[in-house]
Amino acid sequence: MLPFKLIYHSGYDLNLGAHVFPSQKFRLIAERLLSEGWASKDDFLEPAPASDEDILRVHTPEWVRKLKTGTLTPNEAMMLEVPYSAELVEAVWLAAGGSILAAQSALRDGFGCNLGGGFHHAHAAHGEGFCAIHDVAVAIRRLQADGAIRKAMVVDTDVHHGNGTAHIFADDPSVFTLSIHQLNNYPAYKPASTVDLDLDDRVEDEEYLDILLPEVQRGIVEFQPDMVFYVGGADPFCEDQLGGLSLTKKGLQERDRGVFRAARSRGIPVMTTLAGGYARRVEDTVRIHMNTILAAREIVSELARKAAG
């Protein structure tokens, strides 16, 4: 058994058919973790959809209404870049519920992992870039409203800038946002995060880690968050169709370990989502996401050994 819970629902699949976004990956990750013996059925929790009250902590009533009634304008539908459907709406409400549950699990166990979510391009009043609802922001606002946390730190390692995250938390000193991303990539306009790490094309493992990990350490030490929300992007991978960085699977897993170690060695709980990932072979994306979960498992074991002497 894993020392933390995995949050998953079969409704996470956006049912996109032949699309560059492989929404079947959520199911494949869960199946592979079970078939390879890394997880048991007891390690999984099934989320309920987020309540509209929770969604409205982040998103405008007008955007929520349009999603629930299917009345997006042609421009709004175009910006979303995925076909609108009732299944899409169900999936993103479930993803937000999953991120809330993962964060609640992290408070209890140190880690909590949502196998879906990470929809970091969603803004308060519109969606874009495959993202309709910002599940991580919803989870942060829910935990703050409950009094479970006061300060949150978002570490976003998707190859694309976390523009929705930056927009939503722009004037909020209680949320520290860090985005490491390829500069010459989507979105064209990148509003300022607390820390933006703009990377040149084709950056490789060593340079990437040398840039990211000291900034994560610095942010944690100076900001002292009550929880780290980790957006674990699979798309810095060297064979990603929508990315232009050159990280290997080994480098990506070392990235995950480094972020997790920085937080958990200070007793800070970590909630993870599995974002991005458009490798030519879906199996590569699935393996990268699995490695994020296994990195968390390794850090739990590593810190337990240190504590034991």
- Domain range for 62: 5-308
- Per-residue model confidence as pLDDT tens for the chain (309 residues): 899 999 999 999 877 877 899 989 999 999 999 999 999 999 999 999 999 999 999 999 999 999 999 999 999 999 999 999 999 999 999 999 999 999 999 999 999 999 999 999 999 999 999 999 999 999 999 999 999 999 999 999 999 999 999 999 999 999 999 999 999 999 999 999 999 999 999 999 999 999 999 999 999 999 999 999 999 999 999 999 999 999 999 999 999 999 999 999 999 999 999 999 999 999 999 999 999 999 999 999 999 999 998
Indicate the number of domains in the chain.
1
200: left (phi over 0), alpha (psi -120 to 50) or beta: beta
CATH of residue 157: 3.40.800.20
Residues 253 and 265: their CA atoms lie apart, in Å, by 18
pTM to 2 decimal places = 0.98
Nearest one of 11, 10, 24, 36 to 293, comparing CA atoms: 36
Tokens of 19: 């699309």
Residues 286 and 133: their CA atoms lie apart, in Å, by 23
Residue 44 CB coordination number (10 Å): 17
